Structure 1
Amino acid sequence: MSPGRLPAPVVDGLLVGAALVDTWVNVDLTDPAETVCALLAAFALALRRRLPLTTFVLALPTALITDAVFATIAALYTLSSLSRRLWLPAVCALAFAAADFLPWPWSAVRPAELARTPSLIQLVYTLATAAAPVFLGQLVQAHRELSLRLAEISDAREHERLLTDQSILSEERAQLAREMHDVVSHQVSLIAVQAGALQVGSRDNETRAAAATIRQLSVQTLDELRHMVSVLRASGGRRTELTPQPSLADLRRLVAGSGIEAELETDLPGDLPPTVQRAVYRTVQEALTNVRKHAPGARATVRIHHGDDALHTVVTNTAPTRPALALPSAHHGLVGLRQRAELLGGTVEAGPTADGGYRLHLELPAEGRPNRE
């Protein structure tokens, strides 16, 4: 139902009420035949949407033997607005005009009187009265079909726009995949090769350990880049999941390969929702990356525990022991962590500590359910 339009049962009820008023005004209620026909025509309007032709047939006798024609006109309009065969409402209109024009009983018809001018004027008026609901019904039907066609055109244009957007997105993803493969993958490969050479050629154990860590991280980054390139090149042609997704089981390997002195303490079960496990993993990953970038020589502690119906992930680090190198950064890491936590109904707090270190705290509701006030 369109906004501002009355419900169909209300409209039908109003039409029945109007037909009853027409019956009370124009029908001799002392005549049983007229009363029965008029009441039958009035209440038949309740069926006009489901059985339009039957409704008109039931309403036609009242136009023949009484002056109450409202129900018949309403039934004729409904039939015209719902029928896709124009000849059917046209025939019904002629039947209504004949019933309304000819006197009742038909035995009283005198051809000479019908040929008089007043009778001809009445005939023209009756034909116009019968044609009006037919034309109005056809107009309403045409308007309804036009609205449907316009809606279909709008849907088709929206679908075409989506296809165009997908095509543009596919091209952009393909271009990004090429850039990642040709530039980023190449440079990371060079880092891995140089780190491997340094690991083999160096005599200093600390240097060799650092080179091994760099090489391991480079190889892992290359694997992730190759998977991302394959996802981008899919371009929506088939569903490609970003698998395997990290979980709590990968935390120890993450901490061990972080390249810094770090300690992990956790008592969380391994059956938490995947979204929660990913949030915890990415938080620890980002925190350790920031320690490595901004606090060289610092020690880190990762504590993950469950308490107060919430999951707590706290990553702290000591003060750096040597100056940090100036590395490029978009400063999107903490913003992304906060957005991920908000989606799960949690919070992220980060800031410096009193001893010159840094602390990051992720709090998520138990079972990963968003908080509901």
Structure 2
Amino acid sequence: MAGRTRPVAAARLVDVLLVALAALDVWWQLDRDTPVEVVLSVAACAALAVRRRFPLPVFLLSLPAALFSSVVVAPLAALYTLAERSRDRRLLIVCAIASAAASAMPWPLSEYASDDRTWTFVNFVYLLATAAAPVFLGQLVQARRDAAARLVEIEEAREHERRLHAQNVLARERAQLAREMHDVVSHQVSLIAVRAGALQVGAPDPGTREAARTIRELSVTTLDELRHMVTLLRASGGRTTELTPQPTLADLRQLIDTSGIEVTLEGELPPGIGAPVQRAVYRTVQEALTNVRKHAPGATATVQLWHLGDELGVTVTNTPPTRPTLELPGSQQGLIGLGERAENLDGSFEAGPTEDGGYRAGLRLPATTD
């Protein structure tokens, strides 16, 4: 709560200081301005207090003050705020020209003579260069803010990928340990149980038969416990190991909910499809959502499951990014792997940009694939 209060208090302090500076600028013009000009200048200064919420109206309100008076602070501050908030470059160019024209135009117009045109034009050029400064500064601040937000998103995406990689490593190690216990330890304990059973039947000494019976019973109990442990190792081990090496469509909803972006899931696939198809659909959605998070900041995605005749598949479409993107290195190995997986299942995989600037990835497989 205190962390939020400090930026707000700092912004309000800046507003107060800026309004005071603009008012001082108006005060210097009192001996030369008429009451109407003073009123327009004061209104432009007071409007600076709400320039962050209404940047364009505040700038438009500063134009009459720049035309009728010689104030400088209010028009330039309003222009800077508009440049720092707006992403419309054409609007900023028009506003910079309008600000320079309003400041360069002599007032009253009745005193404007034809001989003054050259000096008016020269003054306009200098004022246009002056107006370009707050525009460039505002755009620079905006770009810096966007870059900082993008870096945060990149770090979050990397952390998300690191967690997924760690989960995959844990799942592979757990599966390998389960195989070793099943193939080696369980086999050897089974041999012990068989040999103990044979000794129990064939031994002439009652003590030996009793010892063999105990060994056989312990071996059987140990074998049951080993089988139970193997089952647990192959199953999901909780929140830190929910991503298993063999995901199914049942895991798709959790993948979407933990993707970190706004995703809409549409359609469904027929029941009873094979595990390879389920894994291919899952991996396609996983790779597509990861790419959206990395390369389309602020975009939303739609995951559409479809089944048409003897074909089925999934299409993942995302909207264009709403924030500037940074060029990141990529090997395209994820998309290549999806294409190879689709070919192994006699299907196809396509990916490419959409007409509106988004991206689409689609997997198409035969419905009879096991």
| TM-score using structure 1 length | 0.54
In the alignment, what sits opposite 2:20? 17
In the alignment, what sits opposite 1:282? none
Asked if 1:75 corresponds to 2:78, the answer is yes
Deviation at 1:60, TM superposition (A): 1.9
- CA RMSD for the aligned pairs? 3.4
CA distance in 1, matches of 2:101, 2:42: 21
Specify whether residues 39 and 194 from structure 1 end up closer, same or farther in structure 2 by C-alpha distance, changes over 3 A only.
farther
Specify whether residues 180 and 52 from structure 1 end up closer, same or farther in structure 2 by C-alpha distance, changes over 3 A only.
same
Which residue of 20, 42, 49 corresponds with 2:45?
Answer: 42
In the alignment, what sits opposite 1:159? 160
**RCO greater where, 1 or 2, for CA within 8 Å and sep 6 or more?**
2
AA aligned to 2:92 is P
CA distance in 2, matches of 1:41, 1:47: 11
In the alignment, what sits opposite 1:188? 189
AA aligned to 1:181 is H
Specify whether residues 222 and 7 from structure 1 end up closer, same or farther in structure 2 by C-alpha distance, changes over 3 A only.
farther
C-alpha distance after superposition, 1:163-201 (max 9, x if no partner): 333333332222211111122222333444455566666
Asked if the contact 1:27/1:38 (under 8 Å) is kept, the reply is: no
Deviation at 1:70, TM superposition (A): 0.7
Asked if the contact 2:67/2:105 (under 8 Å) is kept, the reply is: yes
Specify whether residues 174 and 32 from structure 1 end up closer, same or farther in structure 2 by C-alpha distance, changes over 3 A only.
same
Q: Of the two, which has the highest radius of gyration?
A: 1
Specify whether residues 129 and 30 from structure 1 end up closer, same or farther in structure 2 by C-alpha distance, changes over 3 A only.
closer
What are structure 1's unaligned runs of at least 5 residues?
240-373
Deviation at 1:53, TM superposition (A): 0.5
In the alignment, what sits opposite 1:32? 35
CA distance in 2, matches of 1:217, 1:77: 82
Deviation at 1:226, TM superposition (A): 2.0
**Secondary structure of residue in 2 paired with 1:130:** helix
**Secondary structure of residue in 2 paired with 1:160:** helix
Deviation at 1:101, TM superposition (A): 0.8
In the alignment, what sits opposite 1:132? 133
In the alignment, what sits opposite 1:248? none
1:141-156 aligned within 5 A: 141-156=142-157
Specify whether residues 215 and 17 from structure 1 end up closer, same or farther in structure 2 by C-alpha distance, changes over 3 A only.
farther
Deviation at 1:146, TM superposition (A): 2.6
Identity of counterpart residues, as a percentage?
56
**Secondary structure of residue in 2 paired with 1:228:** helix
CA distance in 2, matches of 1:139, 1:62: 27
Deviation at 1:95, TM superposition (A): 1.1
**Which stretch shows the higher mean deviation, 67-76 or 229-238?**
229-238
Deviation at 1:214, TM superposition (A): 5.6
Specify whether residues 215 and 110 from structure 1 end up closer, same or farther in structure 2 by C-alpha distance, changes over 3 A only.
farther
Asked if the contact 1:80/1:137 (under 8 Å) is kept, the reply is: yes
Deviation at 1:203, TM superposition (A): 3.0
CA distance in 2, matches of 1:44, 1:213: 93
AA aligned to 1:81 is E
**Secondary structure of residue in 2 paired with 1:115:** helix
1:1-373 aligned within 5 A: 7-28=10-31, 31-116=34-119, 119-193=120-194, 203-204=206-207, 208=210, 217-234=218-235, 236=241
C-alpha distance after superposition, 1:291-321 (max 9, x if no partner): xxxxxxxxxxxxxxxxxxxxxxxxxxxxxxx
CA distance in 1, matches of 2:30, 2:216: 101
Specify whether residues 50 and 197 from structure 1 end up closer, same or farther in structure 2 by C-alpha distance, changes over 3 A only.
farther
Specify whether residues 184 and 95 from structure 1 end up closer, same or farther in structure 2 by C-alpha distance, changes over 3 A only.
same
Specify whether residues 16 and 225 from structure 1 end up closer, same or farther in structure 2 by C-alpha distance, changes over 3 A only.
farther
Asked if the contact 1:62/1:69 (under 8 Å) is kept, the reply is: no
AA aligned to 2:147 is L
Deviation at 1:54, TM superposition (A): 0.9
Asked if the contact 2:84/2:142 (under 8 Å) is kept, the reply is: yes
C-alpha distance after superposition, 1:5-25 (max 9, x if no partner): 774333333322322232233
CA distance in 2, matches of 1:40, 1:199: 106
C-alpha distance after superposition, 1:105-157 (max 9, x if no partner): 233222322224xx444222211111111111222222222333333333333
CA distance in 1, matches of 2:216, 2:10: 72
CA distance in 2, matches of 1:27, 1:114: 27
C-alpha distance after superposition, 1:345-370 (max 9, x if no partner): xxxxxxxxxxxxxxxxxxxxxxxxxx
Asked if the contact 1:28/1:35 (under 8 Å) is kept, the reply is: no
| TM-score using structure 2 length | 0.54
CA distance in 1, matches of 2:243, 2:162: 20
CA distance in 2, matches of 1:217, 1:17: 89
